[in-house]
Structure 1
Amino acid sequence: MEKDNTILGTTFICQVAILVRDVEKATRRFAELLGVPVPNIILANEDGSDTVTYLGQPTQGRVRLSFFRMENLVLEFIEPTEDPTTWKDFLDTKGPGVHHIAFKAKNRMLETAAKLEDFGYPLIQHGDKYAYVESTADLGVILELLDID
């Protein structure tokens, strides 16, 4: 359900992402658990086509991903590379676990990120189609804004 009167502009969670040390293993085991085919694992931004910024600095921002399209949301497994990113820092300091929950922010990703910054959740990383804001002190999880339909 979309709600334009919220700071986020929506109450619709479209994705939950979990950081893992071995994306192949996590993907295979989750597929076994669900009894579904193992989805492809991709190396995102291998070609550097996405402009990624982490803590105000450019980074290649490569990451290994798999996606499970569930009935009500997408579950994403993420294995960081050595590139400086929120994913790598999170895994190095906190270990595997839920990294973020994502909300759709079509055509208003950076505008919503600015509102969240005013709310006390600073922008920590963004690419062409996503933005992460630091909200873990209050919410226990990072919020992601996805520029998707």
Structure 2
Amino acid sequence: MANTILGTTLICQVAIVVRDVEKATRRFAELLKVPEPTIIMANDDGSDTVTYRGESTQGRVRLSFFNLENTVLEFIEPTEDPSTWKEFLETNGPGVHHIAFKAKDRMMETAAKLEEFGFPLIQNGDKYAYVDSVDDLGVIIELLDID
């Protein structure tokens, strides 16, 4: 299925924006009866170059990842930094923010194709890009520059 605009049909991650990542992580771990994953502060050191709606931002965010059998579930708690996560939480409240597809070595090329398709780039960092597909699909699409 590599001839799709995305280059794949495999969803590798589903992400949920929450107000309290500790609570969400703890409760999901209790639900699955698995150990709680570590909660990290992404980009606290500013090493990732993050652009949100065309403007530079530190793009810090608190995250936890559950590596499930068929996908990765990510919980995201926004910080005060301008970001798509903060905008989502303020506008919609907690909920599914994005579904992710691997776009190894072709992330921005794929983002450009999606922009031509009508899904403009919202935010990107060194290894990820979000495109606005909400009006058509009800969710943001993320492209991950990972294997």
**The TM-score by the shorter chain falls in which range?**
over 0.9
Kindly state the Cα deviation for residue 135 of structure 1 after the two structures are TM-superposed.
0.3
Structure 1 gap ranges (5+): none
Distance 2:58 2:72 in 1: 24
Distance 1:91 1:41 in 2: 19
The DSSP-based 3-state class of the residue aligned with 1:49 is coil
Superposition TM-score, scaled by structure 1 size: 0.98
RMSD after superposition: 0.3
> What is the aligned partner in structure 1 of residue 102 from structure 2?
104
Q: 2:27 pairs with 18, 26, 29, which one?
A: 29
The residue type equivalent to 1:64 in the other structure is R
The DSSP-based 3-state class of the residue aligned with 2:110 is helix
Superposition TM-score, scaled by structure 2 size: 1.00
The DSSP-based 3-state class of the residue aligned with 2:16 is strand
Q: Where do 1:113-132 residues align within 5 Å? A: 113-132=111-130
> What is the aligned partner in structure 1 of residue 76 from structure 2?
78
Report Cα offsets for 1:62-121 as digits up to 9, x if no partner.
Answer: 000000000000000000000000000000010000000000000000000000000000
The DSSP-based 3-state class of the residue aligned with 2:119 is coil
Structure 1 vs Structure 2: percent identity of aligned residues? 81
Distance 2:144 2:76 in 1: 16
Distance 2:5 2:75 in 1: 27
Distance 2:34 2:11 in 1: 23
Q: Where do 1:51-66 residues align within 5 Å? A: 51-66=49-64
Q: 2:12 pairs with 11, 14, 17, which one?
A: 14
> What is the aligned partner in structure 2 of residue 67 from structure 1?
65
Number of residue pairs matched by the alignment: 147
Matched, 1:140 2:130: no
Distance 2:7 2:36 in 1: 34
